[in-house]
């Protein structure tokens, strides 16, 4: 009997062997995370793809550990059942109470409670402010105006602005800082007024603010709301101001012309519907190009209706051209091989159009092979002229950059690729050029590349998926988390000169600089700072 009791006790005693399955799973997960981290550092994977892979890997490992514990765990069955029920209840509560508010440029999710409204839904209607005795005059221009996307020349470059290079002793002066409706639009500045777009609840707005005070002067509303989990809320494009009128494209394709004095609509066209276009999943992002009496936008329609020119006065269609769908870039006016043309990055191609009638002069797949694919990754960055017959193309999503030589003989156009590499992966931003070198945020890290060769000169300074503005020989870099820094635009070395924190929220919006007044905004806030002047 004693031996039988001893044997039964031995059988009932829990095993002291270490559980092999969880040890193997944890070891494999550790190795997987280390491998993904190395792949990201070696630039085999973009930060966004690496983050998605990490989240998937960790999630799968947690699920497998949970199943092992519930089915085979070294505790009593009743305990395992209670743990399984508790986990299911916890998951159900999380599913019912949490929502993804948005993501960073590297796909790091931000959560909110399901009962909490989005920030834009808590803002009231805009009421006119400022000095009502003064009429808003957008027809009177100044040399400091920043009246369209990426500045006066659509190149993200400015000259003649003498900025101090050290802000520690005399920091930028905050003129105002306040909540604003969600959008990825920037400000366009004419004289003492700044125009932007924003989402407040179910209204998509074009708004006019005083630069000096931030007070609203007028707002035009279209009953449209755009919202996408990864891409965020609200309009994406930046208004263009010409001759006292405001031209803007909303996130669903409404092109609107407003009287700049009052914000009253002069005309509006829904170019997506009218051209039978399929809008890009993350919203229309085309900032209108004004050329003579034309308003040129990317509609993305098939059968010759990719690019559309509207009459500035009436909004009537003047011409259409091209067949490619829209991506997230805006048209730019350049002269290549001595021929003025409108260049646009589409869903799968880069194309040059004749501004007189919209016909396609030349077109090339971007990136290579895109036309043969069912889908293509987004083209967000602007093509940048890098000489009389060269275009610098940059692109995020793991693609990199290329330099094209555009050739023109008689009626024949062709494209020669001079180089292509993995540099200048500009996800939400574009490159700027100075003295034969390009500067841009490559997956969030500032990079300098020699244009002739494509050679990386240096890559330093992590700013996230922000924006870059070239001002004479310095780069004004706005980080994704709202810092603003000055960096020397020099191929010799990376050197950050100064910085300050300007704004909260996710800052994918380009900055605008009018004189020394810097206007910045995010999906939650807007602010204006007067930057210190250089010493005489």
Whether residue 34 is found in the same domain as residue 179: no
Whether residue 102 is found in the same domain as residue 160: no
- Is residue 126, in this structure, part of any structural domain at all? no
What does the alpha-carbon distance between residue 369 and residue 365 come to, in Å, rounded to a whole number?
Answer: 6
Whether residue 199 is found in the same domain as residue 308: yes
pLDDT at 12: 44
Beta bridge partners of 404: 391, 417
Whether residue 102 is found in the same domain as residue 206: no
Here the tokens at position 155 are 């190149």
pLDDT at 10: 44
- Is residue 392, in this structure, part of any structural domain at all? yes
Q: Which of 64, 89, 113 is the last residue of a domain?
A: 113
The count of other CB atoms within 10 Å of the CB of residue 528 is 28
pLDDT at 503: 97
Long-range contacts formed by 18-21: CB under 8 A, 24+ apart: 19/68, 19/73, 19/74, 21/68, 21/72
Whether residue 51 is found in the same domain as residue 155: no
- Is residue 3, in this structure, part of any structural domain at all? no
Whether residue 68 is found in the same domain as residue 197: no
Whether residue 382 is found in the same domain as residue 281: yes
What does the alpha-carbon distance between residue 496 and residue 518 come to, in Å, rounded to a whole number?
Answer: 18
- Is residue 80, in this structure, part of any structural domain at all? yes
Whether residue 170 is found in the same domain as residue 295: yes
pLDDT at 132: 55
**CA-to-CA dists, residue 272 to 247, 299, 325, 498, angstroms:** 16, 6, 11, 44
The number of distinct structural domains making up the chain is 2
Is 415 in a helix, a strand, or coil?
strand
- Is residue 77, in this structure, part of any structural domain at all? yes
- Is residue 56, in this structure, part of any structural domain at all? yes
pLDDT at 3: 52
Strand ranges inside 396-450, DSSP E? 400-409, 412-421, 432-434, 437-442, 445-450
The count of other CB atoms within 10 Å of the CB of residue 306 is 28
Please say whether the beta carbons of 254 and 206 come within 8 A: no
Q: Which of 113, 135, 161 is the last residue of a domain?
A: 113
Whether residue 275 is found in the same domain as residue 417: yes
Handedness of CA 212, 215, 221, 225 (dihedral sign): positive
**Residue 21's domain spans which residues?**
15-113
What does the alpha-carbon distance between residue 102 and residue 112 come to, in Å, rounded to a whole number?
Answer: 9
Whether residue 153 is found in the same domain as residue 54: no
Q: Which residues contact 182 (CB under 8 A, 6 or more apart)?
A: 118, 119, 120, 198, 199, 232, 233, 234, 523, 524
CATH of the domain at 154: 2.130.10.10
pLDDT at 374: 83
- Is residue 120, in this structure, part of any structural domain at all? no
What string of pLDDT tens digits covers the 536 residues of the chain?
A: 445 444 444 444 444 556 888 888 889 989 999 998 888 888 888 888 888 899 899 999 999 988 888 888 888 988 888 988 998 899 898 889 988 888 888 888 888 888 889 899 999 888 765 555 578 999 999 999 999 999 999 999 999 999 999 999 899 999 999 999 999 999 999 999 999 999 999 999 999 999 999 999 999 999 999 999 889 999 999 999 999 999 999 999 999 999 999 999 999 999 999 999 999 999 999 999 999 999 999 999 999 999 999 999 999 999 999 999 999 999 999 999 999 999 999 999 999 999 999 999 999 999 988 888 888 899 999 999 999 999 999 999 989 999 999 999 998 999 999 999 999 999 999 999 999 999 999 999 999 999 999 999 999 999 999 999 999 999 999 999 999 999 999 999 999 999 999 999 999 999 999 999 999 999 999 999 999 999 88
pLDDT at 2: 47
- Is residue 127, in this structure, part of any structural domain at all? no
Q: Which of 94, 113, 132 is the last residue of a domain?
A: 113
pLDDT at 49: 87
Whether residue 437 is found in the same domain as residue 347: yes
Whether residue 156 is found in the same domain as residue 100: no
Helices of type H across 73-144? 77-97
């Amino acid at each position: 009997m004693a031996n039988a009791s001893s044997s039964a006790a031995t059988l009932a005693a829990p095993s002291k062997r270490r559980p092999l399955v969880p040890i193997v799973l944890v070891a494999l997960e550790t190795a997987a995370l280390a491998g993904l981290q190395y792949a990201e550092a070696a630039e085999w994977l973009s930060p966004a793809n690496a983050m998605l892979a990490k989240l998937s890997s960790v999630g799968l490992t947690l699920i497998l550990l949970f199943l092992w514990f519930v089915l085979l765990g070294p505790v009593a069955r009743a305990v395992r059942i209670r743990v399984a029920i508790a986990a299911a209840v916890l998951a159900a509560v999380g599913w019912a109470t949490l929502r993804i508010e948005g993501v960073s440029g590297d796909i790091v999710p931000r959560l909110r409670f399901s009962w909490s409204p989005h920030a834009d839904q808590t803002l009231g209607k805009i009421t006119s402010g400022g000095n009502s005795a003064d009429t808003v005059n957008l027809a009177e221009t100044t040399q400091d105006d920043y009246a369209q996307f990426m500045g006066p020349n659509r190149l993200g470059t400015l000259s003649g602005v003498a900025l101090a290079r050290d802000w520690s002793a005399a920091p930028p002066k905050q003129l105002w800082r306040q909540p604003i409706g969600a959008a990825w639009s920037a400000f366009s500045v004419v004289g003492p007024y700044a125009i932007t777009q924003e989402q407040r609840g179910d209204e998509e707005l074009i708004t006019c603010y005083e630069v000096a005070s931030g007070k609203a002067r007028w707002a035009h509303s279209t009953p449209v709301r755009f919202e996408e989990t990864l891409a965020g809320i609200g309009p994406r494009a930046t208004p263009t101001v010409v001759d006292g009128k405001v031209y803007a494209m909303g996130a669903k394709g409404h092109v609107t012309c407003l009287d700049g004095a009052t914000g009253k609509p002069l005309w509006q066209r829904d170019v997506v519907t009218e051209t039978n276009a399929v809008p890009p999943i993350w919203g229309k992002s085309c900032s209108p190009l004004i050329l003579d009496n034309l308003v040129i936008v990317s509609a993305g329609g098939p059968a010759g209706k990719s690019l559309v020119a509207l009459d500035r006065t009436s909004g009537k269609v003047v011409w259409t051209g091209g067949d490619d769908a829209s991506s997230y870039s805006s048209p730019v006016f350049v002269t290549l091989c001595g021929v003025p043309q409108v260049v646009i990055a589409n869903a799968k191609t880069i194309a040059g159009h004749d501004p007189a009638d919209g016909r396609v002069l030349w077109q090339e797949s971007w990136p290579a092979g895109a036309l043969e694919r069912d889908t293509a990754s987004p083209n967000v960055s602007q093509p940048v002229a890098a000489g009389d017959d060269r275009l610098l193309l940059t692109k995020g999503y793991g693609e990199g950059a290329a330099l094209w030589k555009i050739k023109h003989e008689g009626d024949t156009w062709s494209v020669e690729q001079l180089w292509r590499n993995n540099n200048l992966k500009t996800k939400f931003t574009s490159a700027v050029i100075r003295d034969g070198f390009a500067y841009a945020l490559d997956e969030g890290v500032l990079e300098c590349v020699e244009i002739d060769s494509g050679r990386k000169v240096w890559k330093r300074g992590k700013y996230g998926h922000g924006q870059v503005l070239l001002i004479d020989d310095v780069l004004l870099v706005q980080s994704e988390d709202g810092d603003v820094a000055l960096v020397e635009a020099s191929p010799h070395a990376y050197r950050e000169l100064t910085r300050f924190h300007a704004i909260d929220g996710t800052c994918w919006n380009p900055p605008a600089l009018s004189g020394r007044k810097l206007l910045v905004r995010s999906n939650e806030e807007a602010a204006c700072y007067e930057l210190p002047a250089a010493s005489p």
